[in-house]
Structure 1
């Protein structure tokens, strides 16, 4: 985004939720849930790209559960993505399990690499949904996930497996779903969504830690509804750092304006700012 522009960015139009915003080779990429289906029963994932967070290109369907995934055919939710040595690893929800697909391009197409879930429904307490990845300075990539319970585990070097004995529960008070982690100036910021995505009070809280697995110190809310502006249900976010700067952006969904609800949500992007002491300032959502 050009210097001096308004800090609010513009997300892709349409019904898109659970946005995962990231950067590959200086280009912003956004991977959301395709929204607007009763019971969140969509099957397809799209990828969007932008060089300025304003103008977006829809690269079409990058993974379709029906023909592309043998073990699930509904509830395509909340993806995340990371890259290593030219391969892109796309972690996605399907039928309340977490799978992983790979491609040699961030626009896909992606192929299911395991032929089964990476985290199967029922293998841990809570729902096996809402994956997020974080790669630390030492190259270790951590997988976070969970609804009702939050978990973290270091992925193996292949990025498609992990040691179950290393899974750690890190559920904070008030946690519902959508964990996400970034690192800034040596501090790890663990963020999550509270309440139900169908609630106007869906919101984002955070904690800080000296390591990617805790211990975590809670600091309260950073994103919530704005009744005066008709902005409701703000949550399930991701955060990205603008390349080469200390500028940060938060992508999240809200009830579509006007008339949206918990299955008709739209993605928004705003600036995320830090205090001099390294805490996150509350985000004031914009129209």
Structure 2
């Protein structure tokens, strides 16, 4: 192969003394042979990828609406995870993402919380879009509460649906964070949440209320936070994060069950660090199925590569595959 100069197309590029030179020698067969380049290693296309959205984002919730992918993460990079707003991103191919800007800001939009905008999750029902989120106060009260906001569009703007928390701090044991909604085949929606203890409850048809008497504790061994539930081939999958998000050992485990309440059989760890690539702290994930297929993807955060930590995290996406018996194969994190 040979190279051609862009600025001087009449000249040829020649290698000489470990450098590239623009030469004006006569273009003969001998010259061409002498100035050609041989590849000692076959060229292959780049297969690694960076974070799917630029910047520091964590706790991604991925879903689809009307055949398009939507991603709702925590805005990261703040000491103590004290971010105040949520953004929405959308894509047709999981590669090229459109930033739709801020969809809910605790400052002007939420009267009962002004920071700790963590782990949003969005679902569609009744012709509306519902954003479930956690928030706290910057006044020294570190207790978190869960709220719900509503919009006519998956990209907002969202408004606080209640003007108060959906779940108050201290209403149940464990920290009120990390909400997630699963809607079963019959149209019934369930709210999952909690750090330290995992809980589930049937949501009323209005999507902004529930019967407290129906709340159930479903905490599996090793559970810390970030519950996520989906259904495939009649099997319910309950996934969660183990460890602390500040630890490089933060990881994802899962269980299977016969209903949205369980009972659950723990299957083990499916996503964890990959130190040979500098990948650490892989967790707080969500999964999505490509519309009309049995192809699945997992969105999760990791320490920003190469120098991130538990408050400087980035969001990425990888394939999630199943064995013939329905168990999830170990997810291989990639750069």
TM-score of the superposition, structure 2-length normalised? 0.83
* Correspondence for 1:253: 301
Query: Deviations along 1:255-280, whole A, 9 cap, x unmatched?
Result: 00010000000001000000000000
Q: Which moved more, 1:206-215 or 1:77-86?
A: 77-86
**Greater relative contact order (Cα < 8 A, sep 6+):** 1
CA positional deviation for 1:7: 10
Q: Does 1:38 align with 2:79?
A: yes
* Correspondence for 2:101: 60
Task: Give the 4+ runs in structure 1 shifted more than 3 A.
Answer: 6-10
Q: Does 1:84 align with 2:132?
A: no
Secondary structure at the counterpart of residue 213 of structure 2: helix
* Correspondence for 1:16: 57
CA positional deviation for 1:120: 1.0
* Correspondence for 1:153: 201
Query: Deviations along 1:82-112, whole A, 9 cap, x unmatched?
Result: 1013200000111111100000000000000
Q: Distance in 1 between matches of 2:295 and 2:301?
A: 20
Q: Does 1:195 align with 2:236?
A: no
Query: Deviations along 1:233-274, whole A, 9 cap, x unmatched?
Result: 000000000000000000000000010000000001000000
Q: Return 5+ residue gaps in structure 1 as ranges.
A: 1-5
Number of aligned residues: 283
Q: Distance in 1 between matches of 2:90 and 2:72?
A: 9
* Correspondence for 1:205: 253
CA positional deviation for 1:9: 8.9
Aligned to 1:108, which of 144, 151, 156? 156
CA positional deviation for 1:10: 5.7
Q: Does 1:262 align with 2:303?
A: no
| Largest Rg, 1 or 2 | 2
Q: Does 1:93 align with 2:134?
A: yes
Q: Distance in 2 between matches of 1:15 and 1:120?
A: 28
Secondary structure at the counterpart of residue 79 of structure 1: strand
Secondary structure at the counterpart of residue 76 of structure 1: strand
Aligned to 2:115, which of 66, 74, 77? 74
Secondary structure at the counterpart of residue 268 of structure 2: strand
Aligned to 1:278, which of 308, 326, 334? 326
Q: Does 1:134 align with 2:168?
A: no
Aligned to 2:278, which of 230, 233, 245? 230
Q: Which moved more, 1:173-182 or 1:8-17?
A: 8-17
TM-score of the superposition, structure 1-length normalised? 0.97
Q: Alignment RMSD, CA only?
A: 1.3
Q: Distance in 2 between matches of 1:162 and 1:64?
A: 25
